[in-house]
Amino acid sequence: MKPDIDVDRAARDEWLDPTPEIVTDGVVRIPLPMPGDALRAVNVYALAQPDGLTLIDGGWAMPEARAQLDDGLYAIGEDARSIRRILVTHAHRDHYTLAVVLRRELGMPISLGAGERQSIEALTTLSPLVRFESQRALLRAAGASDLAELVGRLEEGVDPWVKAWEHPDTWLEPSTIAVGDRELTVVPTPGHTQGHVVFADTEAGLLFSGDHVLPHITPSIGFETVSTASPLRSFLESLAVVRRLPDLRLLPAHGPVSPSSHRRVDELVAHHDARLRATSELLSEVPLAAAQVAACLGWTRHGLSLDDLDAFNQMLAIGETVAHLTVLVAAGEVRSRLEGDVVTYTRAYAESARS
Ligand SMILES: [Zn+2]
């Protein structure tokens, strides 16, 4: 994830205040803590219905998050026993695993986008080491085999909650879900993960955008156990899907509620356009591996070099560079070639000249 808009630091951190925020009548945002300093927190939204609450996203399964959820619910006169169901935007740990823990304890059903089925299948059956295999293969092909080794060991230390992964009760397809008087439209938005969904309440003008559209950072692309051919293409297509909805208030999973889904989608599209141009312009007739390309690009809003990032974020950065290169190859602007175990890229001058 890369912060890409510079705003006043204090204002930027306001959303982390654990006090629940009443977004509108019947919708409360409760930020929950998560490990690591990049994302800071994950927002869970509690939606009132006559017999209790629907949660959108569940949080990261760790005791501090569970305690903060209890405090947040208490502050609005509820408790975890009022939760009737949990709708989860995607199968990343910070959104899904606390939902599983709550379900074990209290029995409410969990719903997740149908496109996450393969990932959940892998996460519930494979050992943590094997789970990172697609990322490791990507890194080896990107010319970063040392990092691939390092990444293989990352998951070991995360937590012992291998069993925090279970199947949901329902796989969500495009549909509408009634939450009291509210009607949520389930909109598949593959890209951040294959089965990511957002929930639109067009009547109230709200978009529960998960990690698909975030106000301050650009979501990582295609970081998941089972990878797809061109996650960036999927992501850009999904941004177009959200852009065709009415302009809605953005209720993201990380960051503050912000006024315009359209404005943020336009910024994200412009960011990726610029990134595609920068990636393309770096290339010449000299073959470069994706890790070398990533090393020539700036990362985060501070323009850090790849070496300044920790191993996990280096992995995301190289993954994103591969995603951009894949789109450029499909567009005919860049050529790829397998040299041994490594894919290298050159600018397709001849093709551009002819077109
Ligand atoms: Zn997230």
pLDDT tens column, 240-250: 999 999 999 99
* Percent of the chain whose pLDDT exceeds 70: 91
Find the 311 Cα to ligand 1 centroid distance in Å: 18
SS (H, E, C) 252-301: ECCCCCECCHHHHHHHHHHHHHHHHHHHHHHCCCCCEEHHHHHHHCCECC
Find the 246 Cα to ligand 1 centroid distance in Å: 24
Find the 352 Cα to ligand 1 centroid distance in Å: 38
Q: Is the pLDDT of residue 38 over 60?
A: yes
CB 351 within 8 A of CB 287: no
Find the 231 Cα to ligand 1 centroid distance in Å: 16
Find the 95 Cα to ligand 1 centroid distance in Å: 6
Q: Is the pLDDT of residue 161 over 60?
A: no
H or E element at residue 32: strand 27-33
Question: What integer pLDDT is reported at residue 322 of this predicted model?
Answer: 93
2 versus 189: the higher-pLDDT residue is 189
- Report pLDDT digits (tens) over 61-104: 999 999 999 999 999 999 999 999 999 999 999 999 999 999 99
- Report pLDDT digits (tens) over 310-327: 888 899 899 999 999 999
Q: What average pLDDT does this structure show over 205-224?
A: 91
Find the 2 Cα to ligand 1 centroid distance in Å: 13
CA nearest 140: which of 122, 128, 152? 152
CA nearest 20: which of 64, 81, 68, 55? 68
Distance of CA 110 to the CA centre of its chain: 19
Find the 346 Cα to ligand 1 centroid distance in Å: 34
Q: Give the tokens for residue 152.
A: 């293989």
Find the 42 Cα to ligand 1 centroid distance in Å: 7
* Percent of the chain whose pLDDT exceeds 90: 74
Q: What average pLDDT does this structure show over 131-152?
A: 85
H or E element at residue 1: none
Question: What integer pLDDT is reported at residue 270 of this predicted model?
Answer: 96
Find the 332 Cα to ligand 1 centroid distance in Å: 33
Find the 70 Cα to ligand 1 centroid distance in Å: 20
φ/ψ (deg, to 5) at 178: -85, 130
Q: Is the pLDDT of residue 163 over 80?
A: no
CA geometry: angle 10, 13, 15, nearest 5 deg: 130
Could you tell me the pLDDT band of residue 344, with boundaries at 50, 70 and 90?
A: very high
Dihedral sign for Cα atoms in the order 120, 236, 219, 198:
negative
Question: What integer pLDDT is reported at residue 131 of this predicted model?
Answer: 66
Question: What integer pLDDT is reported at residue 143 of this predicted model?
Answer: 93
Question: What integer pLDDT is reported at residue 242 of this predicted model?
Answer: 98
H or E element at residue 200: strand 197-201
CA nearest 139: which of 335, 289, 8, 280? 289
For 203-238, give the DSSP string: TTTEEEEETTS-SSEEPPSS-SSS--S-HHHHHHHH
Find the 57 Cα to ligand 1 centroid distance in Å: 9
Find the 283 Cα to ligand 1 centroid distance in Å: 32
Find the 289 Cα to ligand 1 centroid distance in Å: 29
Find the 189 Cα to ligand 1 centroid distance in Å: 14
Q: What average pLDDT does this structure show over 34-38?
A: 80
Question: What integer pLDDT is reported at residue 128 of this predicted model?
Answer: 64
Distance of alpha carbon 300 from alpha carbon 292, whole angstroms:
17
Find the 344 Cα to ligand 1 centroid distance in Å: 31
Find the 325 Cα to ligand 1 centroid distance in Å: 24
- Report pLDDT digits (tens) over 267-276: 999 999 999 9
